[in-house]
Amino acid sequence: MKNYNNIQSFLSEMLTKISSNVNEKDLCNNTPFLVGKNWKNISIHSILLKNYSFEGKAVSSRDICFMLHNAPQLKSVNLVLVDDVVPVLREICRSNSNIEKLTMKKCSSQGNLIPETVLINVLLSLRNLQSLELKQTKFTSHKFFETISLQSNITSIDVSLNEHVTLGDLMMVAHNSRILEFKMSRRYKTPKISDQEMAHLIKALKQQITLLHMDMCGLGNYTYNEIFSCSNLNDLKLNNAINLGVELLCKMSECLRNIRNLKIEGPSTIGEGDLYKALFADPTFGHQLETLKLEYYSSLSDKECCEILEVCPNLKKLSLKGSSKVTIEGICDVLVNATGLTLLNLAFLGISTFSSNILKLPSLDVLIIDQTSCELNNLLTLPEACHLKIIQLTKKNKKFG
């Protein structure tokens, strides 16, 4: 047997075997220094890559196919703005049968609908596929969703902003008893789905679903009541929650006892102080939260925000984006005690003077701000900011107002 004294001289088959059976982080951190260092260097080789993300404007479909062909160990592929996605999908079927997650965002077939035969072939070829995201992607769907309903391996689906998806299509998905995650976080006004129809869809999903991301625009009590009957939910996003009232908030607090990640966007009918009284009066609800996003909540005040933060001691991610009454000065004293935060979004708050004390949060990795809260260049000069990823949003990123 041939001896190898340098990990970089190993045969590709041997490296693939190592990569398949050993955690990469453990391999890099728990082996002798030179081995770990060399592994970090070779682990970026295409044959060992587990995740690929392609921006269609930056790379051609032909080049994407070449890279996919040379990356047989891929587990996740993300395709964004790929205008000629059909040959890419065919290459995935040929070369990447181990894929578990496939995301397509704003993709098409040279500006036209993707033939459903191509997508059906993806479903039938990728037997390990668990998550399929088709955000703003144009495709025909006569038999596609029927095929999904027969695939027991798929547990997560995203059909956000797809004008060709009908209620009948969604009901087929709901009848797949393995669907645990359903995402429709943004919807077009057409095709129109009524409150009762959407409630019927959620009812069909509620026995098993653990994650639900919904655009609630035009939906009311029927749908909310069915959502709050989904007792297994641990991740809930309610975008455009215009019709979310106090009584419904009380029901959410009572019924959703497993929620870890919660987003409520644009609850315009909830008055000042009502959110805390209805949702967080029972402190156990706040204690279980790891992610809280209260975005574009126009009635949220500094006082109420502080009260909410005090009963949510285990937060790792917090977003107050667009809650225009909240100021950084008003919540800073409470915010600096949230020592577990890894992500903080303070974009588009009330007129604020940025406090550098926020940068001292020991676990903070990502800070999202806007152009009015502080000057990015000034912030980057602070020594506390050297380890942070700082994202600065512009007015075009603002949803309301």
Q: Is residue 320 pLDDT above 70, yes or no?
A: yes
Q: Same domain, yes or no, for 5 and 78?
A: no
User: 119: domain CATH number?
Assistant: 3.80.10.10
Verify cis geometry, omega within 30 degrees of 0, for the bond prior to 362: no
Q: How many CB atoms lie within 10 A of CB 151?
A: 18
Q: Same domain, yes or no, for 115 and 132?
A: yes
Residues 47 and 71: their CA atoms lie apart, in Å, by 5
Q: So what's the pLDDT on residue 373?
A: 56
Domain that holds residue 12: 1-48
Q: Same domain, yes or no, for 54 and 136?
A: yes
Q: Is residue 37 pLDDT above 80, yes or no?
A: no
Give the number of domains in the chain. Answer: 2
Q: So what's the pLDDT on residue 93?
A: 97
Residue of 142 and 135 predicted with greater confidence: 135
Q: Is residue 95 part of a domain?
A: yes
Q: Is residue 297 pLDDT above 80, yes or no?
A: yes
| Mean pLDDT within 221-244 | 96
Q: Same domain, yes or no, for 39 and 75?
A: no
Angle at 43 between CA 38 and CA 32, to 5 degrees: 35
Q: Is residue 65 part of a domain?
A: yes
pTM: 0.86
Q: Encode 98-110: b = buried (16+ Cβ within 10 Å), e = exposed.
A: ebbbbbbbbbbbe
Q: So what's the pLDDT on residue 3?
A: 43
Q: Same domain, yes or no, for 75 and 98?
A: yes
Q: Is residue 102 part of a domain?
A: yes
Tell which residue, 298, 303, 292, 393, has the closest CA to residue 347: 393
> Which residues make Cβ contacts (< 8 Å) with residue 197, sequence separation at least 6?
167
Q: So what's the pLDDT on residue 190?
A: 67
Range with lowest mean pLDDT among 176-180, 302-306, 380-384: 380-384
Q: So what's the pLDDT on residue 350?
A: 81
Q: Same domain, yes or no, for 53 and 12?
A: no
Q: So what's the pLDDT on residue 367?
A: 92
Q: Same domain, yes or no, for 60 and 90?
A: yes
Range with lowest mean pLDDT among 56-65, 136-145, 157-166, 382-391: 382-391
Decide if 238 contacts 266 (C-beta within 8 A).
no
Q: Is residue 291 pLDDT above 90, yes or no?
A: yes
Q: Is residue 264 pLDDT above 90, yes or no?
A: yes
Among candidate residues 111, 140, 169, the one where a domain is terminated = 140
Q: So what's the pLDDT on residue 33?
A: 45
Convert the pLDDT of each residue in 159-185 to its tens digit: 999 888 888 889 988 887 789 999 999
Q: So what's the pLDDT on residue 383?
A: 78
Q: So what's the pLDDT on residue 397?
A: 79
Q: Is residue 344 pLDDT above 90, yes or no?
A: yes
Which secondary-structure segment (H or E) carries 390? Answer: strand 389-393
Q: Same domain, yes or no, for 43 and 53?
A: no
Q: Same domain, yes or no, for 56 and 135?
A: yes
Q: Is residue 389 part of a domain?
A: no
Residue of 45 and 332 predicted with greater confidence: 332
Angle at 185 between CA 183 and CA 187, to 5 degrees: 110
Residue of 225 and 193 predicted with greater confidence: 225
Q: Same domain, yes or no, for 58 and 101?
A: yes
Q: Is residue 8 part of a domain?
A: yes
Q: So what's the pLDDT on residue 228?
A: 96
Q: So what's the pLDDT on residue 142?
A: 80
Residue of 325 and 395 predicted with greater confidence: 325
| Mean pLDDT within 304-327 | 96
Could you tell me the pLDDT band of residue 140, with boundaries at 50, 70 and 90? confident
Q: How many CB atoms lie within 10 A of CB 197?
A: 15
Residues 151 and 130: their CA atoms lie apart, in Å, by 9
Q: Is residue 86 part of a domain?
A: yes
Among candidate residues 140, 172, 197, the one where a domain is terminated = 140
Residues 367 and 358: their CA atoms lie apart, in Å, by 9
Among candidate residues 117, 140, 163, the one where a domain is terminated = 140
Percent of the chain at pLDDT > 90 equals 63
Q: Is residue 43 part of a domain?
A: yes
Range with lowest mean pLDDT among 172-176, 271-275, 375-379: 375-379
Average pLDDT along the chain = 86
Q: Is residue 38 part of a domain?
A: yes
Q: Same domain, yes or no, for 68 and 13?
A: no
Q: Same domain, yes or no, for 116 and 59?
A: yes
